[in-house]
Amino acid sequence: MTPTDPDYQRAVDLLLAGELVALPTETVYGLGADAANPAAVAKIFAAKGRPADHPLIVHLAGHDAVDHWAAQVPAVAWELMETFWPGPLTVILKKQDWVPDAVTGGQETVGLRVPGHPVALELLRRFSAVRGEHAGIAAPSANRFGRISPTCAAHVAEELGERVSLILEGGPCAVGIESTIVDCSRDEPVVLRPGHISPLHLAAVLGGLPAIETACGAPRVSGSLAAHYAPVTPMRLVTGERLLDFLNAQRHRGGRCAVISPNQPSQAGMPHVWRMLPADPVGYAHDLYAALRDMDHAGVDLIVVEAIPEAAEWAAIHDRLRRAVAGAGQTG
Ligand code: TXA
Ligand code: MG
């Protein structure tokens, strides 16, 4: 199998048989199962080690499938879906009665997304052709619970190995961080998880900036847990001004550091593990998870991330870095 030739037929057969298939999306790789098959969905939770009350996103081939899964879809949700699908936006809507608790975590809402990756879309189309036109693939990020989301097929293999029957190759993910989640089941839309589609993008459709509610610890969104998206190695955020002093102090103490910086190139005497990421939020998001994963394997005592700008365009990255720092260094 070559990267340009994903085995769609085998993927569809596995999904129909209630097995798991990892698939590329434009955000991160997902671990997919037939969303209408609770026994198949249960395998996702087992493979990830994820608590069963955490709801999953249902991926659809197109807008036509929305009414099959969601009830009372407000006009504003349709506008968001028309504008940003296929793409990195998840919309939370009131669910239809039949939607399994396994998918919704027992909640009255369901998260829907039409992904923007050609391999994901082709798989969804082929799956729908045999399973029914409104079929959905439930898919969380294809990592073990609390860990860094995979942004290429090799990361999925590293995270899940034998626990997934097939990994569809789709190259590196274009976006690199998880979708923006907007809850449209309430009176006003609320952002539950910031992402590539920023509040400013949403405002262009909504006519004003949406409320943002990313409270830590809320079980409704596992990505909103205080500790998430985390490497095993401890991690610290350090401001650009303090970075060199901080690293020197670590070196005197014999601590081995790996550094991620959007601004400063490595200098003589600095740690050999040093990664410059793009200094713009889109490029930075694209490379962040792969960089954290590399550094987690570098055999260092501490991952040092140079603090990034406070500007609104960096909000999704602040969110991921904050949670990664909170979860880093925990081995469980
Ligand atoms: O970009 C993405 O969204 C990726 C790709 C694979 O689509 N998926 C992803 O899934 O990040 P996951 O499960 O790692 O994160 C989905 C988030 C979870 O935090 C979950 O709690 C939330 O979406 N979610 C799903 N359904 C929900 C619902 N009904 N109400 C509130 N939050 C929901
Ligand atoms: Mg996840």
Which pLDDT belongs to residue 315? 94
Which pLDDT belongs to residue 272? 80
CA quadruple 19, 131, 116, 72: dihedral positive or negative?
A: negative
- Average pLDDT value over all residues in the chain: 93
| Ligand 1 closest atom vs CA 181 | 23
Q: Measure the CA–CA gap between 315 and 313, rounded to whole angstroms.
A: 6
| Distance of CA 248 from the midpoint of ligand 1 (Å) | 40
Side by side, the strands of the sheet bearing 30-34 are: 166-167, 21-23, 30-34, 136-138, 57-60, 109-113, 89-94, 180-183, 190-193, 211-212
CATH fold of 5-212 reads DHBP synthase (3.90.870)
Q: Number of C-alpha atoms within 13 angstroms, CB side, residue 48?
A: 29
Give tens-digit pLDDT for 227-277. 778 889 999 999 999 999 999 999 999 999 999 999 888 888 888 899 999
Give tens-digit pLDDT for 17-51. 999 999 999 999 999 999 999 999 999 999 999 88
Q: Measure the CA–CA gap between 278 and 261, rounded to whole angstroms.
A: 9
Q: Return the minimum-mean-pLDDT range out of 1-5, 49-53, 57-61, 119-123.
A: 1-5
Residue 98: count other Cβ atoms within 10 Å of its Cβ. Answer: 8
At 132 the three-state DSSP class reads coil
More confident residue, 289 or 269: 289
What is the four-CA torsion angle of 126, 60, 10, 168, rounded to 10 degrees?
A: 120
Which pLDDT belongs to residue 215? 64
Q: Let me know if domain 235-327 sits in CATH 3.40.50.2300.
A: no
Which pLDDT belongs to residue 225? 67
| Distance of CA 238 from the midpoint of ligand 1 (Å) | 29
Q: Can you state the angle between helices 75-84 and 199-206, rounded to 10 degrees?
A: 130
On the question of a cis peptide bond just before residue 38, with omega within 30 degrees of 0, the verdict is no
Q: Phi and psi (nearest 5°) for 171?
A: 75, 180
- Do the Cβ atoms of 113 and 91 come closer than 8 Å? yes
Which pLDDT belongs to residue 223? 59
Q: Return the minimum-mean-pLDDT range out of 102-106, 160-164, 196-200, 221-225.
A: 221-225
Extents of the domains making up the chain? 5-212, 235-327
Which pLDDT belongs to residue 5? 74
Is a pLDDT exceeding 60 seen at residue 3? Answer: no
Q: Do domains 5-212 and 235-327 have the same CATH topology?
A: no
Residue to mutate, 53, 221, 228, 288, ligand 1, most ligand atoms under 8 Å from C-beta: 221
Kindly state the percentage of the chain with pLDDT values over 90: 85
> What amino acid is encoded at 227 in this protein?
A
Ligand 1 pocket: which residues have CB below 6 Å?
25, 27-28, 30, 54-57, 90, 92, 104, 107, 109-111, 113, 115, 139-141, 178-179, 181, 192, 220-223
Which pLDDT belongs to residue 332? 46
Q: How far, rounded to the nearest angstrom, does the alpha carbon of residue 122 sit from its chain's CA centroid?
A: 20
Find the angle CA(319)-CA(314)-CA(190) to the nearest 5 degrees. Answer: 60
Which pLDDT belongs to residue 214? 78
CA quadruple 283, 182, 168, 134: dihedral positive or negative?
A: negative
Q: How confident is the model at residue 165 (pLDDT cuts 50, 70, 90)?
A: very high
Which pLDDT belongs to residue 155? 97
Q: What pTM was computed for the model?
A: 0.94
Which ligand is in closest contact with the Cα of 115? 1
